[in-house]
Amino acid sequence: MNDRIAIPDTFAKRIAALRTQMSRDGLAAVLIPSADPHLSEYLPERWQGRQWLSGFTGSVGTLVVTADFAGVWVDSRYWTQAEAQLAGTGVQLMKMMGGQQPAPHIDWLAEHVSAGDVVAVDGAVLGISAARALSDALTARGIVLRTDVDLLDAVWPERPVLLDAAVYEHAAPHASVTRVEKLAQVRDAMRTKGAQSHFVSTLDDLAWIFNLRGGDVSYNPVFVAHALINLDDATIFVADGKVPEALKQSLARDGVRVAAYSEAPKALASLPAGATLLIDPRRITHGLLEQVPSTVKIAEAVNPSTFAKSRKTAVEAEYIRATMEQDGAALARIFCVVRRRAGPRAHHEIDDRREADGGARETSGLCHAELQHDRRFQRERRDAALPRHRCVAFGDRRQWLVAD
């Protein structure tokens, strides 16, 4: 999305198109959260609908649109940025204040939508706890909630598809525990919960369990997928063409099948009656859970892999120490660059980072797959998440040091 240079009228037209679709579908309000089907912190472009519709590029925010209102709820980190980016779009800045409940947009919807009207949100990107809170608040006011509709598909003509970056093996020596051993750990935890199946959506858990890596999210070596782990086999649901044939064969030898990404909901719907499915309620969306038949028992617990990957082997601990040494050296290098550049000559913090990373590449044995130096994590002035920054003095000048 190249909306950083789009004019405000672009976003006003997109909101208007959304309202037209809402009218066709009989919807009084639509909620667009900053989320994807994996509840990720950093979203692939396909699920950056709030940004595409409103023009606000901050990493966190919730968009609500009705026939005569559009607003983005953000916390104080993003007030200045949102005020600038939403100007002229017709989308209001809704400031989340300290002491409010975590989701003030829910209270707003309950107060401003009439009884009998319909509020829609894509359940495929809505966490279970958020879905429950939204349903409780709206139902108490006689408002209907729909979670089976994704209006972005109807109004976003060039909506990005799933990325085709290849999935690759995370192999020894860095992977000191094999895929088979990790699956055995997960299955032991499943048995303690009486579960025959376990569904995993979080991308870091998938990367750890299967010793796989990818390039679907900037600065994160993960790939977009789901997995269904049974006591005797497992299936990874991932976009076609992402897993090379040789890797498919390696996975098959370990009892892991590769299926199309779109097959994940069907796999949940096909679970046998009387089976028990283990899920982490904080790590799966409402839409996916809705696919599970009522005849299947749900066991809720933290993903076993979350605990397992926190316990490092001696080999893993040593790699972490080496990484932290390199990270500390890189941070010291950045401080030196900033101090050397401080003065009357204008410079940009991204240039500082480029210079520092140049040295890091020379001293590091790691793979730097993404050093594009975009502004996503390097903000200044109006785009800065101000509470995370501090003002420091360099000589007789005061400058903002951005450290996130």
- pLDDT one-digit tens code per residue, 112-170: 999 999 999 999 999 999 999 999 999 999 999 999 999 999 999 999 999 889 999 99
Is residue 115 assigned to a domain?
Answer: yes
d(CA 18, CA 11): 11
Q: 69 and 27 in one domain?
A: yes
**How far apart are alpha carbons 378 and 258 in whole angstroms?**
37
What confidence tier does 378 reach under pLDDT thresholds 50, 70, 90? very low
Average pLDDT over residues 358-364: 54
Helix (H) or strand (E) holding 390: strand 390-394
Residues 340 and 220 in one domain: no
Same domain, 19 and 104: yes
Q: Is the pLDDT of residue 394 over 50?
A: no
Residue 107: φ, ψ to 5°: -60, -40
The residue-averaged pLDDT of 79-97 equals 95
Q: Tell me what the mean pLDDT of segment 173-200 comes to.
A: 97
Cα-based distances in Å from 394 to 334, 341, 342: 15, 10, 7
Same domain? For 341 and 273 the reply is: no
37 in a structural domain: yes
The predicted structure's pLDDT at residue 74: 96
pLDDT greater than 60 at residue 400: no
Last residue of a domain, which of 155, 187, 218? 155
Per the listing, tokens 């970056």 go with 165
Per cent of the chain over pLDDT 90 is 74
pLDDT, mean of residues 230-245: 97
Domain count, the chain: 3
Q: What are the strands, taking DSSP E only, across 156-283? A: 168-169, 197-200, 212-213, 225-230, 234-238, 256-260, 276-279
Q: Band of the pLDDT at 339, cuts 50, 70, 90?
A: confident
If phi over 0 gives left and psi between -120 and 50 gives alpha, with beta otherwise, what is residue 399?
Answer: beta
Q: Tens of pLDDT along 99-113?
A: 667 789 999 999 999
Looking at 115, 132, 155, which one is the last position of a domain?
155
Do the domain assignments include residue 76?
yes
What rounded mean pLDDT belongs to the chain? 87
Comparing 61 with 339, which gets the higher pLDDT?
A: 61
Q: What is the per-residue pLDDT for 374?
A: 45
Residue 208 and residue 212: Cα distance in Å, rounded?
7
Cβ within 8 Å of residue 121, ≥6 positions away? 30, 31, 32, 33, 134, 145, 146, 147
Helix and strand counts by DSSP (H, E) for the chain? 14, 16
Q: Measured between alpha carbons, how far is 272 from 197 in angstroms, rounded to an integer?
A: 10
Instruction: Identify the band that residue 361 occupies on the pLDDT scale cut at 50, 70 and 90.
Output: low
Domain that holds residue 113: 3-155
* CATH assignment at residue 23: 3.40.350.10
Distance CA 186, CA 110 (A): 41
User: Are 65 and 29 spatial neighbours (Cβ–Cβ below 8 Å)?
Assistant: yes
Q: Are residues 356 and 336 in the same domain?
A: yes
Q: What is the mean pLDDT of residues 272-286?
A: 97
For residue 314, is it within any domain? no
Are 289 and 344 in the same domain?
A: no
> Given this model, what pLDDT does residue 375 score?
41
Q: What is the mean pLDDT of residues 74-92?
A: 94
For residues 118 and 146, the answer to whether their CB atoms sit within 8 Å is yes
Contact 316, 173 (CB under 8 A): no
